[in-house]
Amino acid sequence: MICVGGTFEYLHKGHRALLDRAFSLGGKVYIGLTTDEFACRGRNRSVLPYERRKSVLEKYLSGKGYEDYLIFPLEDRYGCALDDECTDMVVSEETVGTAAEINEIRGKKGLAPLKIHVVPYVLAEDFCPVSSTRIAEREIDVEGRLLRALRVNVGSENPNKVMAVRDVFSMFYEDVDIKVVKVESDVPEQPFDRETVKGAINRAKKALRDADLGIGIEAGLLWNDVEKRYFDVQYCAITDKREWITVGHGPGFYYPDVVIERVKKGRSISESMKEVFGVENIGYKEGAVGFLTEGKYGRRELTKTAVLMAFVPRIKKDIYKI
């Protein structure tokens, strides 16, 4: 006997994942559907009526070909989970604490503990969990699609970085609100090795604020022990309200020795390029890579690759461990 419970309002993508997991275990599934009174406890809004929620639930189960189940009114947090016949319980990350409490009660009653199956949150397009409340507030739909613009803060005033972020996010979202946030990286002006990714992460965290995503981008020199050279590499870090940080980087290239010699004496890449080649504010223009490739490949393109690589786990968020 497998038990699963919930309000199942709007029967969104997260609900369906919970139900599908329960039926995948084999055996009869007991579905506790919260009564209207119980569902409204602790909420500052009303919920759809029990019969309406039950009808939608039955339609879904029928469409999936599920037959061996029983829907019953759930009037408390335990339902049938304290029955001797119950062997498994399927819960979301939100209700895993209740499952532990149930097993504690079962132990005191001399009953075998339930096998707990935790279904991870299903994330919406803003990387926050899909929920009935968010659907009721018209923020997302039942599939987790945003019904408003994705809010993205970029921790840099560099136009190349901001445009690169816009380039990437326009590939995945129709409506994106990108804002520039001035933040400090808390690493040296010319970062080396681990300082580079640390600077990107620091920028992303500071930029997040009231947005859905905070993005930090940092270029630094990474030592390649095979080539015995420093390679210039752009790192991008993306964080969200759940503090999930994803990181990626773009391709690397190396500088003429005369530039690196100055960097080793404490100059930044920008200062060194100005001293050697007379190029002013190169980081805000085509970048050093643009100068070295004679305009065939600029900093915007370099940064775009880093941003896209940092976004990879978010493209396939359902298969990455969060």
Per-residue pLDDT, 322: 55
Instruction: Judge whether residue 280 has pLDDT over 90.
Output: no
Instruction: Judge whether residue 92 has pLDDT over 90.
Output: yes
Mean pLDDT in residue range 295-309: 94
Instruction: Judge whether residue 124 has pLDDT over 60.
Output: yes
Confidence bin at 42 (pLDDT 50/70/90): confident
Return the top range by mean pLDDT from 35-49, 115-129, 267-281.
Answer: 115-129
Per-residue pLDDT, 108: 95
Per-residue pLDDT, 177: 98
Lowest-pLDDT choice from 113-122, 231-240, 271-280: 271-280
Mean pLDDT in residue range 176-196: 96
Confidence bin at 11 (pLDDT 50/70/90): very high
Per-residue pLDDT, 284: 67
Average pLDDT of the chain, as a whole number: 94
- The pTM of this model reads 0.89
Per-residue pLDDT, 287: 83
What are 63's two structure tokens? 């469409």
| Spatial CA neighbour of 185 closest among 166, 205, 209 | 205
Mean pLDDT in residue range 74-92: 93
Per-residue pLDDT, 306: 98
In whole angstroms, give the CA distance from residue 274 to residue 267.
Answer: 10
Per-residue pLDDT, 270: 87
In whole angstroms, give the CA distance from residue 256 to residue 16.
Answer: 57
Per-residue pLDDT, 44: 83
* Intervals of CATH 3.90.950.10 along the chain: 150-315
3-state secondary structure string across the chain: CEEEEECCCCCCHHHHHHHHHHHHCCCCEEEEEECHHHHHCCCCCCCCCHHHHHHHHHHHHHHCCCCCEEEEEECCCCCCCCCCCCCEEEEEHHHHHHHHHHHHHHHHCCCCCCEEEEECCCECCCCCECCHHHHHCCCECCCCCECCCEEEEECCCCHHHHHHHHHHHCCCCCCEEEEECCCCCCCCCCCECHHHHHHHHHHHHHHHCCCCEEEEEEEEEEEECCCCEEEEEEEEEEEECCCCEEEEECCCECCCHHHHHHHHCCCCHHHHHHHHHCCCCHHHCCHHHHHHCCCCCCHHHHHHHHHHHHHHHHHCCCCCCC
Q: For residue 27, give Cα distances in angstroms to 14, 30, 58, 73, 81.
A: 22, 10, 18, 20, 15
Annotation: CATH topology of 2-136? Rossmann fold (3.40.50)
Architecture of domain 150-315: Alpha-Beta Complex (3.90)
Per-residue pLDDT, 59: 97
CB-count burial class (<10 Å; 0-12, 13-18, 19+) for 277: middle
